[in-house]
Structure 1
């Protein structure tokens, strides 16, 4: 259900994935699309002039142009550089904030993710020391290493 708070391009993409077996039937896609809309968007849809939309592509373009302000703006890569573990913040809390920010960046930057995550840790943190002594080469390996240290931290609490 699209509520205006999530990325509308993602919504259209997810709708297309759910109804892919009917993608050749434009009329049906146009008739089913409103079922994925919340109340505000339904008012917009109900207000469309009859016959003003001739294809599903046209409907999604009209939808995207009407609700363009609801589009998610990707974060710039340098937003990761401002990430740092806060005083009294657990590794889990820092990790949650970090990955939330990382996921808002639209490209694949494993090397930058690894470096910025490490630099955000206090210099005396055991995980930072481990990442310095035995660097990882991809985010999957970083997550594995983090999980090891997270289990240790959670065991101490």
Structure 2
């Protein structure tokens, strides 16, 4: 159909050939002459069938991210990553900076980012994963020490 974009009458005639049974039933119920242009046909179609369009979150939702009391770093980073992916636009630099600001000032990872910042999301996620791995190893090491002495 893209080849015929300049010919509105032809587009209106070709349009039904692209429809499936459900949408074709809708098309068949349109009153003759109720739409005056292909643009109106597109709007009517969109109003009826495009219901699952993605609604992006505003940048504010990323700016207000903080680690909630009692929640883990994993929960916070997962929520941050999900929110970042639900924002339309290139806000990678903002996402990297706001992740650090959402951590408590005394958090070791925040201190680490203060000393050496991550410059993109890939570096941010790698640093978070390394931090989680170190913490996991420390917890496992303490558990082993208790078993050996006990």
TM-score (norm 1): 0.60
Point out the structure with max Rg over C-alpha: 2
Deviation string for 1:78-136 (max 9, x for gaps)? 21121100112111111111111111111111211011111001111111111110011
Query: 1:144 matched to which residue of 2?
Result: 126
Which residue in the other structure is 1:77 paired with?
59
The aligned counterpart of 1:131 is 113
- 8 Å CA contact 2:57, 2:87 repeated in 1: yes
- 78, 86, 89: which is aligned to 2:68? 86
Unaligned runs of 5+ in 2: 4-10, 141-150
Residue number in structure 2 paired with 1:108: 90
RMSD: 3.6
Question: 8 Å contact 1:122–1:128 — kept in the other structure?
Answer: yes
Unaligned runs of 5+ in 1: 1-22
Change (3 A) 1:62 1:86: same
TM-score using structure 2 length: 0.63
User: What does residue range 5-154 of structure 1 map to in structure 2 within 5 Å?
Assistant: 34=20, 62-67=44-49, 70-154=52-136
Structure of greater relative contact order (alpha carbons < 8 Å, 6+ residues apart): 1
Is the Cα–Cα contact under 8 Å of residues 85 and 121 in structure 1 kept in the other structure?
yes
SS in 1 for 2:67: coil
Q: Contact between 2:16 and 2:27, CA under 8 Å: does it hold in 1?
A: no
SS of alignment partner, residue 130 of structure 1: helix
Note if contact 2:16-2:24 (Cα within 8 Å) is conserved in structure 1: no
Structure 1 residues 100, 45: CA separation in 2 closer, same or farther (over 3 Å shift)? farther
